[in-house]
């Protein structure tokens, strides 16, 4: 059937019977065969399975671990459910590796991963955590939607036959997504994204092989007119079955964020970075403002690092601004295009400084010019939202030298977060708050907001 994934070239044709152990970071579980560790996808702890080995390394005899896909379930876990997205199953596309796991069990899976990373890398046991345990919360509405229809953005690529699809996991092979599949072509996409795909014939059109497609439909806001969706094909606006070649063709979308009774509006590049879950921007802004709540930010100096298009910068600019006590927000972002997006939203905020460049380099320059106009000797609070690799030693050291009272760390990778918490601990900062959110249902990813407080 068109769109049904075929098995990838196996490292061996042999099917191995495995008893599955605990979950591991990365969307797989740990099993063993003949004393060798096997990381297995599409399974659950406690299951007995037949697995196809998909990767044995360059030398199977000396490899420290193998990779495998569960292709037959001999004894299923009670947490197993019918696959919500078979195209992301064994041999299929990436991005839906937990679609066979009940939503509640996905939360427990992610709690176990975050807990293990905090123990192993930050040396924090559950009793050391602010609430005595890790709790992963679903985003509003996700339990009603069974964890589906949350992505406001999807990226596709045209395969050799011109059909739109996604890459097979850990390969460059493109698997076409089938619009006639019982689950639809992409069940994680919002109805608005799927309507855009249908209107533009994304899954029926024959594209030039290799064409990159971005579909964006901002989440509807209560009481507001729907924001216009946008399809880009290799960076060109696509409308009515053809590319809009005009230099001024629209390539941005309007995103509206409401949190704590205030609404902020952003205009961002359709193919730039923005949180993909429909509830993520408001949920994360609220969590960051809550973490900073005990501080009186009026007149304060606040840093927003890895600031992107200004998701947090705009609320922070309001938080430091009060009659007679206007503060300062210093925003640092490595992507010039994201800084351009932020400038659209912050052009009328003279107390906000936008810096483009690597965070560690910009911070070093600001600290080196401390005492002069535009320099930086101290920060009252720091918000940072680094990419999956985390902030790292240099940035943590730079932040610690500014001696903020509070650091709010927004993390999309548990291992990087745990490592950086340990680095901050070495500079006198304790973990005093931790919220974790399932903003990527059906995948192993999660988002966490950690509050770090300087010891007095």
Q: Which residues are catalytically annotated?
A: 412
Q: Are the beta carbons of 69 and 98 closer than 8 angstroms?
A: no
Calpha distance 247→245 (Å, rounded): 6
Q: 350 vs 83, 361, 408, CA distance in Å?
A: 51, 23, 24
In this structure, which long-range contacts are made by residues 214-217, counting pairs with CB atoms below 8 Å and at least 24 apart in sequence?
214/153, 214/154, 214/155, 214/156, 214/270, 214/271, 215/153, 215/154, 215/156, 215/189, 216/152, 216/153, 216/253, 216/270, 216/271, 217/152, 217/190, 217/192, 217/193
Q: Tell me whether strands 136-138 and 429-438 are parallel, antiparallel or unpaired.
A: parallel
Q: Tell me whether strands 174-176 and 230-233 are parallel, antiparallel or unpaired.
A: unpaired
CA atoms within 13 A on the CB side of 87: 25
List helix spans (H) across 138-208: 191-199
Q: Are the beta carbons of 122 and 31 closer than 8 angstroms?
A: no
Residue 330 β-bridge partners: 303, 353
Calpha distance 12→343 (Å, rounded): 53
Determine if residue 35 is left, alpha or beta; phi over 0 gives left, psi from -120 to 50 gives alpha, anything else beta.
left
Q: 343 vs 258, 285, 315, 339, CA distance in Å?
A: 19, 19, 14, 6
Q: Are the beta carbons of 264 and 256 closer than 8 angstroms?
A: yes
CA atoms within 13 A on the CB side of 321: 12
Collapsed DSSP state (helix, strand, coil) of residue 419:
helix
Output b/e per residue, 186-206; b: 16+ Cβ within 10 A. Answer: bbbbbebbbebbeebebbebe
């Amino acid at each position: 059937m068109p769109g049904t994934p075929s098995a990838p070239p196996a490292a061996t044709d042999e099917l191995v019977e495995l008893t599955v152990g605990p979950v591991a970071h990365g969307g797989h579980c740990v099993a063993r065969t003949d004393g060798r560790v096997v990381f297995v996808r599409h399974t659950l702890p406690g299951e007995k399975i037949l697995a196809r080995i998909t990767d044995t390394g360059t030398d199977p005899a000396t490899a420290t671990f193998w990779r495998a896909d569960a292709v037959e379930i001999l004894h299923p876990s009670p947490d197993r459910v019918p696959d919500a997205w078979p195209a992301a199953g064994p041999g299929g596309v990436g991005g839906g590796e937990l679609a066979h796991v009940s939503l509640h069990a996905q939360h427990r899976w992610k709690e176990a991963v975050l807990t293990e990373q905090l123990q192993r890398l930050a040396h924090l046991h559950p009793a050391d955590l602010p609430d005595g345990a890790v709790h992963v919360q679903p985003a509003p509405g996700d339990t009603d939607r069974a964890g589906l229809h949350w992505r406001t953005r999807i990226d596709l690529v045209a395969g050799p036959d011109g059909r739109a699809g996604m890459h097979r996991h850990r390969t460059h092979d493109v698997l076409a997504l089938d619009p006639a599949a019982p689950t639809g072509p992409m069940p994680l996409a919002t109805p608005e994204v799927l309507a855009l795909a249908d209107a533009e014939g994304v899954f029926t059109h024959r594209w030039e092989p290799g064409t990159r497609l971005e579909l964006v439909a901002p989440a509807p806001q209560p009481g507001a007119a729907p924001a216009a969706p946008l399809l880009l094909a290799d960076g060109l606006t696509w409308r009515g079955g053809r590319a809009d070649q005009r230099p001024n063709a629209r390539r941005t979308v309007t995103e509206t964020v409401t949190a704590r009774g205030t609404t902020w509006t952003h205009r961002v590049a359709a193919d730039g970075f923005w949180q993909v879950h429909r509830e993520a921007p408001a949920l994360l802004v609220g969590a960051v403002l809550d973490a900073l709540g005990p501080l009186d930010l009026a007149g304060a100096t606040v840093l927003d690092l890895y600031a992107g298009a200004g998701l947090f910068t705009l609320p922070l600019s309001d938080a430091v601004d009060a009659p007679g006590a206007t503060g300062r927000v210093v925003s640092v972002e490595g992507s010039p295009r994201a800084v351009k997006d932020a400038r659209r939203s912050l052009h009328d905020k003279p107390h906000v400084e936008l810096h483009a460049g690597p965070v560690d380099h910009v911070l070093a320059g600001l600290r080196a010019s401390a005492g002069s106009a535009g320099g930086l000797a101290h920060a009252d609070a720091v918000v940072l939202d680094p990419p999956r690799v985390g902030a790292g030693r240099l940035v943590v050291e730079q932040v610690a030298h500014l001696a903020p009272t509070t650091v709010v760390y927004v993390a999309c990778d548990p291992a990087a977060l745990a490592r950086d918490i340990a680095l901050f601990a070495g500079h006198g900062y304790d973990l005093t708050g931790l919220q974790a959110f399932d903003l990527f249902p059906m995948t192993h990813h999660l988002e966490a907001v950690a509050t770090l407080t300087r010891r007095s």
